[in-house]
Amino acid sequence: MRTPCSCLTIPLVFLLLCPAFHAQTNNHALVFEPIQSYEADEAIVEIGRPRYLDQDPQGNLYALDVQGRQVHIWDAKGKYRRSFGQKGEGPGEFMFTYPVGEIVVYQGHIIVVDESVAKIHFFDKNTGKFKRTIPRPSNLSRLRLYRAESGRSLFALNVSGSRAVQEVVKLNLEMEVENVFFSIPYGRTEWLDKVRYIYRPQANRLMFCPFQDNLLIAETRDNALRVFDQTGQKQKTVRIPMAQDEVEEEEKQAYRKQYLQGSYRDRVRLEFHEKGSFFDLVLSVDGLILVMKNGDERGHLSGIALDHQFRRLTSFHESFGEVVHISAIDGRIITITVPEDGEYQITAYTVRLERRREPTAGRPDYN
């Protein structure tokens, strides 16, 4: 197990010298280009384990540090601004006895969910001053929070063990459910018994993301994208085939070799990787919809890119390193990674589609 470092140090030369990632298939390449890093001077603040991110309309980045029990803030240029928060069980204090939580910036508030004590904290976005704490409602758990692209609505993926459902809901500022968009069953049968604590991709689960002020909701079991408006009305359903041969063979073999050198847990995941074709992540970023599968903590992602009319553009296979968080925020992909030196890095990428000038020698093409 890696030991989290006490600070974020990302030399600027990394971004200047690091080539853009090119995921090439057919006549196009999906390019992930690093454009911004976020670092902090350890003489000012110690950063332990940033785990969750959000960004406000002004471009300020907010990172929830579940080890340091703080929220760290950078401006739009990547300059560190301030931190707030401390360990404790009092108002505005964080415990994170296990590292599950959430952060979202919404209507002038920084909202922090501490799942370990079932509390939701509200802070002023401009000053970081504590405003109030409420108990997490008993009908909500394991929340993933998202703002609509307009910033006018707050949505959540709620996994309720007591009611055995996964659901996408709309919330108000009191964390009350105003609308349920989509739900599927969830229960003990979704877990694999022979390998303890490993979630099996064959199990059905939901994921979603804001999309042109609507919602894209994906269900793994049927490989479908559903578009809902903010009233909860379904607009359309789009089937997305995710054939295994979309992963280029030589990259697939390299992926397999790396996993076979790992633990039994890794080998089980490899077995799922080779047998299953299921969604793991759906992101909407800068005119593209990225439908990904087989995402894991090592950062291996493969999938397809669609335009906003759901027309297929290209497939891709990419590795960002050991990723602990990846999200699409305001037209960029932002990742938290742990490189070999163990120092957490927060990096923003632009994503664009480029036409490939020449075929890549030695690589098969897929339609």
pLDDT in tens, 321-350: 777 888 888 889 998 988 766 778 999 999
pLDDT at position 34: 93
Average pLDDT estimate for 143-171: 86
Find, among 231, 218, 232, the residue nearest to 306 by Cα.
Answer: 218
Residue 250: per-residue pLDDT: 47
Average pLDDT over residues 77-83: 94
Task: Report the chain's mean pLDDT, rounded to a whole number.
Answer: 76
Confidence check: pLDDT of 276 > 80: no
**Cα–Cα dist 310/289, whole Å:** 8
**Mean predicted confidence (pLDDT) in 115-123:** 94
Q: Could you tell me the strand order of the sheet in which 28-38 lies? A: 21-25, 28-38, 345-355, 332-337, 323-329
Which range is least confidently modeled, 6-10, 38-42, 281-285, 293-297? Answer: 6-10
Sheet holding 312-319, edge to edge: 281-285, 288-293, 300-306, 312-319
Instruction: Mention every residue, 6+ apart, whose C-beta is less than 8 A from residue 304.
Output: 240, 242, 246, 290, 291, 312, 313, 314, 315, 316
Range name among 102-106, 206-210, 272-276 with the lowest pLDDT average: 272-276
358: pLDDT strictly greater than 50 = yes
Task: State the pLDDT at residue 218.
Answer: 85
Q: Is the distance from CB of 179 to CB of 231 less than 8 angstroms?
A: yes
CA 195 to mean position of chain CA atoms:
25
What three-state secondary structure class fits 247? coil
The distance of Cα 343 from the centroid of its chain, to the nearest Å, equals: 19
Give the pLDDT band of residue 314 (cuts 50, 70, 90). confident
Q: How far apart are CA 261 and CA 357, in angstroms?
A: 36
What is the per-residue pLDDT for 104? 96
Instruction: Say yes or no to pLDDT of 246 above 70.
Output: no
Helix (H) or strand (E) holding 236: strand 234-239
Confidence of residue 361 (pLDDT cuts 50, 70, 90): very low
Q: Which of 72, 61, 57 is nearest to 8 (CA)?
A: 72
Mean pLDDT highest for which of 21-35, 56-70, 155-169, 256-270?
56-70
